[in-house]
Amino acid sequence: MALFVRLLALALALALGPAATLAGPAKSPYQLVLQHSRLRGRQHGPNVCAVQKVIGTNRKYFTNCKQWYQRKICGKSTVISYECCPGYEKVPGEKGCPAALPLSNLYETLGVVGATTTQLYTDRTEKLRPEMEGPGSFTIFAPSNEAWASLSAEVLDSLVSNVNIELLNALRYHMVNRRVLTDELKHGMTLTSMYQNSNIQIHHYPNGIVTVNCARLLKADHHATNGVVHLIDKVISTITNSIQQIIEIEDTFETLRAAVAASGLNTMLEGNGQYTLLAPTNEAFEKIPTETLNRILGDPEALRDLLNNHILKSAMCAEAIVAGLSVETLEGTTLEVGCSGDMLTINGKAIISNKDILATNGVIHYIDELLIPDSAKTLFELAAESDVSTAIDLFRQAGLGTHLSGSERLTLLAPLNSVFKDGTPPINAHTRNLLRNHIIKDQLASKYLYHGQTLETLGGKKLRVFVYRNSLCIENSCIAAHDKRGRYGTLFTMDRVLTPPMGTVMDVLKGDNRFSTLVAAIQSAGLTETLTREGAYTVFAPTNEAFRALPPKEQTRLKSAKELANILKYHIGDEILVSGGVGALVRLKSLQGDKLEVSLKNNVVSVNKEPVAEPDIMATNGVVHVITSVLQPPFNRPQERGDELADSALEIFKQASAFSRASQRSVRLGKSGLGLKSLQTCLGLTPKQAQACHLLYIDKNIIVPSNKPGLWSQNSKGDLGSDSEHPASFSVI
């Protein structure tokens, strides 16, 4: 068998070829996109690539899978065209592009790939054409004809007016003195150009876009006898200044320049690295309130966070953005960078006014709106962009605004606006005290909260933390959104108004006239001490009407202290479960021993399928949920669960079976053949009720009452008379 497996594996390896046995080098993102474009174009013949063209422009892109199905680039619709893949050409009368492009020198290859303007300007210089036609190994990033045409007349005139210096130098800057293919073009690398060894910045993005000094690679890897040609969409120029130097020389960055100096970030922005600076202009700073600006500029930590929120960890050229993209700033915030046509957007806003200003250590995009991170905001400012504005207005009206705009370390528990859809409470002493208990005297993060933790409020209350499977709650109110952590305070968005505990469970019940019957019952059953002492209980509290609605028989049964205690314990869970912690179904163990089934459907909490009339009355040792019916524990568990034996009977049955197997004697049933279901039905009955049961013999051992009217079988422990009112007991005799 082992030999067969080895032979099969060898056969598969031979059938699949070398690629199956030896993993080749991983393809670059550009090569993967090109491969996908080739796959989409194969129906049109060999070496045909599908290309997406933005409608109304000449912009073309090799397509990846996502773009293929969306048919959009930067939100603009595209059409699919089919062209020869790089390095191939058509043959008259043949399908697709079966022929490889003729291999020639670099100069001739420029004409073959359509870079005729670059070829023309090369021809005008005295030295460059001989180099391109001669021996050697070069790479040229050749601007397309459209790239040359897009240059301003002033720039173009300066180049062609001095072809052997300015134009020659410009063309040499597009060249590298060795062959460099796309699989070597790594993200963030620099290449040394043939103009004064100046650096060329390369960025190779995960979406397959490759940029050269932020010019997009259109078609790559056109081989020549003496090098390789890559077609790009811009004429690139040398980079001389760092990000910091550009900030210092641009008048529009006057405020930014002062902020960078005050924060100490100038050292980083003039050093090595590859960053993207979303540089706020003077206009951007002027748009925010003077009070806010002065506060941030005067707070070194907030200022540093503000500036770091405008710096990305790597260089991001505009051409790399063809759809939405999440990027992380140095401050740690995630920004959504996208595009709409030719405009770049940040968090959905078209606030970039000038893009792709290259620096030696990255790229700058000018923005006209300040990106203030949460970490530089006050609680008031955090709430301004959240769905808690109604609560914030209440805090302000209650005279608590100074706590939310100052430098105290606090956590604000702010209910959602939807909580107040029926109106807001009047501002009085009670409301002020309630709102003070929504402010925790510490700056917290929800990820560090733990079950049973207590939090102190400005109002002097101790609030408890409850951690459930799918929710995190503070007393009766649960966190409804991610934290917003500000400069000094943290905002927790809560799903309801928090009600601090007011006394023990017994205090709550005694203080509410709806529970007078329940209170009397608790006292009669001797449970007062339980519900008064420290603990963690969930009480499903039946109202007076619930007790009055009981059938007379049930009311009579509650006169027994033992029965009453049993039923009341069934209404008490042994842990705190607030309504926000209830999922589809939670099984809560009661003090009686059985489990309560608590569920949530259509925002209504139910216990044993009975709806809760009022949830979450908080107590220092638990929570009270109001119900309008008395819950009945499963007294006859075997009858309700016909697939299970009661514990004692199950043990007897196991022992009897073991004895039977040991002696290899058969099991004989009585005349009606009592089965498992019938045995369960007999459990818990009085002798009088059990007369209908049949005899079950396991060898000579009787384990159920006799079926003879008025008679009980005698066991080894004594004789049970027929007038016994105690439930029938089962034992082996």
646 domain residue, yes or no: no
| Whether 514 and 622 share a structural domain | yes
76 - beta bridge partners?
Answer: 73
Which single residue is written with the structure tokens 């690679």? 217
Coil, helix or strand for 298?
Answer: coil
First to last CA, the chain: 59
* Gyration radius of the chain over CA positions: 40
Q: What is the mean pLDDT of the chain?
A: 85
| Whether 271 and 223 share a structural domain | no
Distances (CA, A) of 331 to 311, 327, 371, 441: 8, 11, 11, 26
Q: Tens of pLDDT along 648-695?
A: 444 443 443 443 443 333 333 333 344 444 444 444 444 444 444 444
Q: What pLDDT, on a 0 to 100 scale, did the predictor assign at position 685?
A: 47
| Whether 490 and 509 share a structural domain | no
Distances (CA, A) of 52 to 57, 70, 206, 684: 11, 11, 18, 79
Q: Tens of pLDDT along 193-203?
A: 999 999 999 99
Pair of tokens at residue 294:
């002065």
- 712 has pLDDT over 80: no
Q: What pLDDT, on a 0 to 100 scale, did the predictor assign at position 70?
A: 86
Q: Tens of pLDDT along 248-257?
A: 999 999 999 9
| Whether 293 and 385 share a structural domain | no
What is the model's pTM? Answer: 0.75
Q: What pLDDT, on a 0 to 100 scale, did the predictor assign at position 342?
A: 86
Q: What pLDDT, on a 0 to 100 scale, did the predictor assign at position 66?
A: 83
| Whether 382 and 490 share a structural domain | yes
- 639 has pLDDT over 50: no
pLDDT band at 24; cut points 50, 70, 90: low
CA distance linking residue 342 with residue 614, whole number of Å:
56
Mean per-residue pLDDT, 534-543? 96
DSSP string covering 313-343: SS---GGG-SS-EEEEBTTS-EEEEEEETTE
Burial 471-500 (b: 16+ CB within 10 A, else e): bbbbbbbbbbbebbbbbbbbbbbbbbbbeb
713 domain residue, yes or no: no
53 domain residue, yes or no: yes
Q: Which of 343, 373, 403 is at the close of a domain?
A: 373
Burial zone of 715 (CB within 10 Å; 0-12 exposed, 13-18 middle, 19+ buried): middle
Which single residue is written with the structure tokens 């020659």? 168
- 732 has pLDDT over 70: no
- 19 has pLDDT over 60: no
Burial zone of 599 (CB within 10 Å; 0-12 exposed, 13-18 middle, 19+ buried): middle
| Whether 451 and 363 share a structural domain | no
76 domain residue, yes or no: yes
CB 661 within 8 A of CB 575: no
Burial zone of 333 (CB within 10 Å; 0-12 exposed, 13-18 middle, 19+ buried): middle
602 Ramachandran zone, left/alpha/beta (phi>0; psi -120 to 50): left
Mean per-residue pLDDT, 437-457? 97
Coil, helix or strand for 636?
Answer: coil
- 516 has pLDDT over 90: yes
- 559 has pLDDT over 70: yes
Show the beta-strand stretches assigned E in 442-481: 454-456, 462-467, 472-474, 477-478
The residue count of the chain comes to 733
Q: Which of 454, 470, 494 is at the close of a domain?
A: 494
Q: Tens of pLDDT along 379-402?
A: 999 998 789 999 999 999 999 999
Distances (CA, A) of 320 to 49, 72, 87: 21, 15, 24
HSE-CB of 728 using CA atoms within 13 angstroms: 30
Q: Tens of pLDDT along 607-627?
A: 999 999 999 999 999 999 999
710 DSSP 8-state letter: T
Domain count, the chain: 5
Q: What is the 3-state secondary structure (H, E, C) of 429-441?
A: HHHHHHHHCCEEC
667 domain residue, yes or no: no
Q: Are strands 275-280 and 362-367 parallel, antiparallel or unpaired?
A: parallel
Q: Which of 627, 657, 679 is at the close of a domain?
A: 627
241 domain residue, yes or no: no
Q: Tens of pLDDT along 274-323?
A: 999 999 999 999 999 999 999 999 999 999 999 999 999 899 999 999 98
Query: What is the CATH number for 527?
Result: 2.30.180.10
- The answer to which of 352-361, 504-513, 680-689 has the lowest mean pLDDT is 680-689
| Whether 489 and 540 share a structural domain | no
| Whether 119 and 174 share a structural domain | yes
Q: Is the dihedral of CA 560, 562, 567, 568 positive or negative?
A: positive
Mean per-residue pLDDT, 205-226? 95
Burial zone of 334 (CB within 10 Å; 0-12 exposed, 13-18 middle, 19+ buried): exposed
| Whether 420 and 435 share a structural domain | yes
| Range of the structural domain that residue 559 is part of | 505-627
| Whether 49 and 146 share a structural domain | no
- 445 has pLDDT over 90: yes
| Whether 279 and 334 share a structural domain | yes
- 21 has pLDDT over 50: no
717 domain residue, yes or no: no
| Whether 395 and 455 share a structural domain | yes
Coil, helix or strand for 68?
Answer: helix
668 domain residue, yes or no: no
pLDDT band at 181; cut points 50, 70, 90: very high
Mean per-residue pLDDT, 164-192? 95
Pair of tokens at residue 501:
């505990």
